[in-house]
Chains A and B, each alone.
Chain A
Amino acid sequence: MKKILTALALGASAVFASGAADAATLDQVKQKGFLQCGVSTGLPGFSNPDSKGEWTGLDVDLCRAVAAAIFDDPSKVRFSPLTAKDRFTALQSGEVDILSRNSTWTLSRDATQGLNFTATNYYDGQGFLVRKSLGVKSAMELNGASVCTQSGTTTELNVADFFRSNNLQYEVVAFQGQEETLKAYESGRCEVFTSDQSQLYALRLKLADKDEHVILPELISKEPLATAVRQGDDQWFDIVKWVHYGMLNAEEAGITSQNVKDMLNSPNPDIKRMLGAEGNFGEQIGLTKDWLARIVTKVGNYGEAFDRSVGKGSPLQIERGKNALWSKGGLQYGPPIR
C-alpha cells in the first residue's frame, strides 16, 4: 500500500510538476520565515529530542546551520519527524524543504525519487560489535564466529558477502527487531553483533556494561548518510551543499564558534574569503557575505557539531574515523571557497 501511495505521489508530482518544486525554495523559506526540516523520529546523536524538547544531533545541526545562514537565527527551523517510509514523499510533496534524515545516498534513490543528494553529512558503514574478552582486534580474526543480525535487512546480505569473500567461516543468528537482536547478543547467543556502526555506538549504551564491548574498526559496507533536497531548484541545492562544505572549511581553517570574532580580523586570505571580509562568495549562492560567519557563530564548525552530537562530547563517543577531515585521514573534504 505504502509503495503504491509513494508511487502515486511521485506520479502525481511528475504530472503536475508544479507548485513546490517550481518556485524558488529560498524565496519560499524567507517568506514563511522559517525552514522546514525533515528529520528522523529519533536516532541517537543524529536527530533526537533532548529532555527540554529541543531537537539535537548532527542531522539537526545541518538544518540549524542553513537557518543560521539565511536568517542569522538557528532557531528559525521547524522539524518534521519522518519515518523511513514517508521521508521521500514528504520531501517531494513540499512538506519539508530539506531532508536531513540519515538517508543513505544510492544511485536508485538519486535517480528515481525526484531528489538530489547534496553532500554526505556522515560516512557510515556496517560494523561489528564484540566482547572485549574475546580479544579480537580486527574483523579478519572472526573466523568461525556466530553473528547476530536483524533478519531481512541488507545487513544480513553484507555479512554473507564479507565472510565469503574473505574465506571465513561464520554462522548467522537472525532476529526480527533491533532490540531483540541486541538482547540475544547480550545473553550470549552469538559472539558478534552487526549493524550500521553509528547504530552500534548507540546500542552499546543499552548494554549493562558498555566498556566490556568494543566496536571493530572495519566497515564492510558503504552507507553515506546524506542530505537531500527536491530536484529542480539548483540554487537551493547549492545553498544546502555549501553550508556543509562551509562548515568543513571552517574546521579546516581552525575557525570555531569561540574564536570566530577574532578570526574576522585574521590576515589569512582564505579566512577573509570565508568570513566575508573579502569577496562576495555568500551572495553568489543567494546568501549574505557573512553567511559562514553566521553559521560558525551560531552553530559551530563541522567538528564542533560532530563532537557535541556523536563524538567525544556526547555519550556515544564515536571516533572521527572516516568522518575526519581529508587532511587528517578522513573523507570529509570541503571544496575551496573562492
Chain B
Amino acid sequence: MSDVAFGNDQPFVRKEILQPEPPPASLVGISGWARQNLFAGPANTLLSVVCLALAIYVAWIMLDFLVLRAVWTGANREACIAPGVGACWPFITARFGQLLYGFYPAEEHWRPATVFFVAVALIAPLLTPAAPYKKANALLFFVAFPIFAVIMLSGGVFGLRPVETRAWGGLLVTLVVATTGIVASLPLGVLLALGRRSKLPVVRFFAIAFIEFWRGVPLITVLFFATYMLPLFLPSGWTIDGLLRALVGVSLFSAAYMAEVVRGGLQAIPKGQYEGAMAMGLRYWPMMILIVLPQALKLVIPGIVNTFIGLFKDTTLVAIVSIFDFLGIIRAAFADPNWATPGTVYTGFAFAGIVYFIFCYGMSRYSRFVEERLDVGHKH
C-alpha cells in the first residue's frame, strides 16, 4: 500500500458518525410497501391483482345497487317499479318503526326507545376502562336495569299501558334475546365448566348431563318444543309467556356452549397455579375467583366473543316460533303487496345484512381491544 497524502500527517479519524443512507426508494413509502406486500413475486402479484379486481367489482356492484341506482323517496311500489332501479329505500323508511319495534303500538314507541338509550348510557361507561364507578355502574346495569326494562317494555304498572310480548318485535326482540342470552350464559357457563371439572361426582355428573343434552339438541328443536309442546304437558290454564320460553331456551342453550369454551380455558391453566393457590391457604372459591378464572377467561376471550356473535345471529331462529325478530319482520314485510317490486327482497336483505354486520363487527372489535389490554406477560 502506498501512503496517501491527506494534506497533513495526521491519519484520518472520523469525528462524527455518518448519517445512515435512506433505504432504497423501492422499499419506502406506499410504493415500497406495495412492492413488498402486494407484488413480491409473480404469484403474489397475480393474487393481488385478482383479489383487488374482485374487491372493486363487488364494491362497485354494491355501491351501484345501494346508492347510485337506488330510489330514495316514494309512497308505494309504484316508486320502485321503473326498470333498472336499484335498492328501494322508501320500503325501509315506510316500515322503519316496525323494523325497530315490531308490532309494538306506535304511540308507545318512546318506551323501548328510552330503554335503549338507558342501556347505551349504562353499557358505554361499563365497557370503557377509564370510566369511574365500575361497581355502581355494574350494579345498575345487571340488577336495576333489567327490572327497569321489564317494567318499561311490558307496562301494566305506574300507569303504563300493558304491551304483551307478542307485540314486541324487530330489532327490539333481537336485542332483548341476544342481551339476555349473553348476560345469562356467561355466569351459567362458568358454573357449568367448574362443575364439569369438579371432584364431586354428583355435581360433575349433573354438569356433564346438562352440557351434553343442550349441545346435542338443535336450537330449533329447543324453541319448537318450548313453544308448541310445553302447553300439552302443563296443566290446562297454565301459560308461560312465549318470549320468556324462547329466552330461557336460548340462555340455557348458549350456556352449554359457553361452558365448553370456559372449560378449555380452565384446562390451559398449569397445575402449578392451582397448587400455588392452595399452598397459600385459599379455599376452592377464592382460588377460582382470584387466581384461576381471571387467567382462564382471559385466554378464551376470542372463544367467548365467538359464542356471543353466534348467539346474536342465532336469535333469528326465534322466527320459527312466530316471534318476529329483526330478520323475521323484514321477511314478513316482503309479503305486503303494496311494496312488492323486483328489488324489495334484495333491499330488505341488504339492510338486514348491514345492521347485523354493524353489531357483530362492533363486538369483534371490542374483543380485540380487551385482548390487547389484558395481554400482559404470557407471550407464547
Kindly state the interface size class of chain B when it binds its partner: 35 or more
Q: Digit string of B208-224 for contact with A (CB within 8 Å is 1, else 0)?
A: 00000000001001001
Known: A206-B344, A208-B83, A209-B83. A90 touches B228 (CB 8 A): yes
> In the complex, which residues of chain A have a beta carbon less than 8 angstroms from the beta carbon of B329?
49
Q: Are A51 and B94 in contact (CB under 8 A)?
A: yes
Q: Are B224 and A42 in contact (CB under 8 A)?
A: no
Q: Digit string of A24-60 for contact with B (CB within 8 Å is 1, else 0)?
A: 0000000000000000111111011111110000000
> In the complex, which residues of chain B have a beta carbon less than 8 angstroms from the beta carbon of A78?
166
Interface residues of B in 299-328 (CB under 8 A from A): 319-322, 324, 328
Of the residues B106, B166, B319, contact of A41 by C-beta under 8 Å: B319
Q: Are B336 and A82 in contact (CB under 8 A)?
A: no
Measured in the bound complex, the distance between the Cα atoms of B77 and A314 in whole Å is: 12
Identify the stretch in B95-103, B177-185, B265-273 within 8 Å (CB) of chain A at 4 or more residues.
Answer: B95-103
Closest chain B residue to A207 by CB distance? B342
> In the complex, which residues of chain B have a beta carbon less than 8 angstroms from the beta carbon of A65?
none
Known: A19-B236, A93-B228. A52 touches B337 (CB 8 A): no
Q: Are B232 and A13 in contact (CB under 8 A)?
A: yes
Closest chain A residue to B322 by CB distance? A81
Q: B229: CB under 8 A from chain A?
A: yes
> In the complex, which residues of chain A have a beta carbon less than 8 angstroms from the beta carbon of B83?
208-209
Closest chain A residue to B76 by CB distance? A315
Q: Are B229 and A9 in contact (CB under 8 A)?
A: yes
Of the residues A16, A202, A206, contact of B341 by C-beta under 8 Å: A206
Interface residues of B in 76-118 (CB under 8 A from A): 77, 81, 83, 94-95, 97-98, 102-104, 106
Q: Are B337 and A45 in contact (CB under 8 A)?
A: yes
Interface centre among A20, A40, A314, A315 (most CB of B within 10 A): A315
Q: Are B320 and A86 in contact (CB under 8 A)?
A: yes
Interface residues of A in 186-244 (CB under 8 A from B): 186, 202, 205-209
Of the residues B103, B319, B331, B342, contact of A53 by C-beta under 8 Å: B103
Q: B338: CB under 8 A from chain A?
A: yes
> In the complex, which residues of chain B have a beta carbon less than 8 angstroms from the beta carbon of A209?
83
Q: Are B224 and A2 in contact (CB under 8 A)?
A: yes
Q: Can you give 6 contacting A-B residue pairs, CB < 8 Å?
A: A5-B224, A41-B322, A49-B336, A53-B106, A206-B342, A315-B337
Q: A18: CB under 8 A from chain B?
A: yes
> In the complex, which residues of chain A have a beta carbon less than 8 angstroms from the beta carbon of B126?
none
Q: Are B95 and A51 in contact (CB under 8 A)?
A: yes
Measured in the bound complex, the distance between the Cα atoms of B328 and A40 in whole Å is: 12
Measured in the bound complex, the distance between the Cα atoms of B228 and A45 in whole Å is: 27
> In the complex, which residues of chain B have a beta carbon less than 8 angstroms from the beta carbon of A286?
none
Closest chain A residue to B233 by CB distance? A12
Q: Digit string of B335-354 for contact with A (CB within 8 Å is 1, else 0)?
A: 11111111011000000000
Nearest chain B CB to A318's CB is how many angstroms away?
Answer: 10
Measured in the bound complex, the distance between the Cα atoms of B328 and A2 in whole Å is: 20
Measured in the bound complex, the distance between the Cα atoms of B224 and A8 in whole Å is: 12
Of the residues A80, A93, A186, A207, contact of B322 by C-beta under 8 Å: A80
> In the complex, which residues of chain A have a beta carbon less than 8 angstroms from the beta carbon of B345?
179, 206
Known: A205-B340, A208-B83, A315-B340. A81 touches B332 (CB 8 A): yes
Measured in the bound complex, the distance between the Cα atoms of B48 and A220 in whole Å is: 56
Q: Are A315 and B229 in contact (CB under 8 A)?
A: no
**Could you list 14 further interchain pairs (A-B, Cβ under 8 angstroms) beyond the known A53-B102, A53-B104, A93-B229?**
A5-B229, A41-B332, A42-B336, A48-B336, A48-B337, A49-B329, A51-B338, A78-B166, A82-B322, A86-B321, A89-B229, A94-B231, A315-B340, A316-B337
Known: A1-B221, A5-B224, A50-B338. A12 touches B232 (CB 8 A): yes
Q: Are B338 and A42 in contact (CB under 8 A)?
A: no
Nearest chain B CB to A82's CB is how many angstroms away?
Answer: 6
Q: Are B106 and A95 in contact (CB under 8 A)?
A: no
Q: B334: CB under 8 A from chain A?
A: yes
Q: A143: CB under 8 A from chain B?
A: no
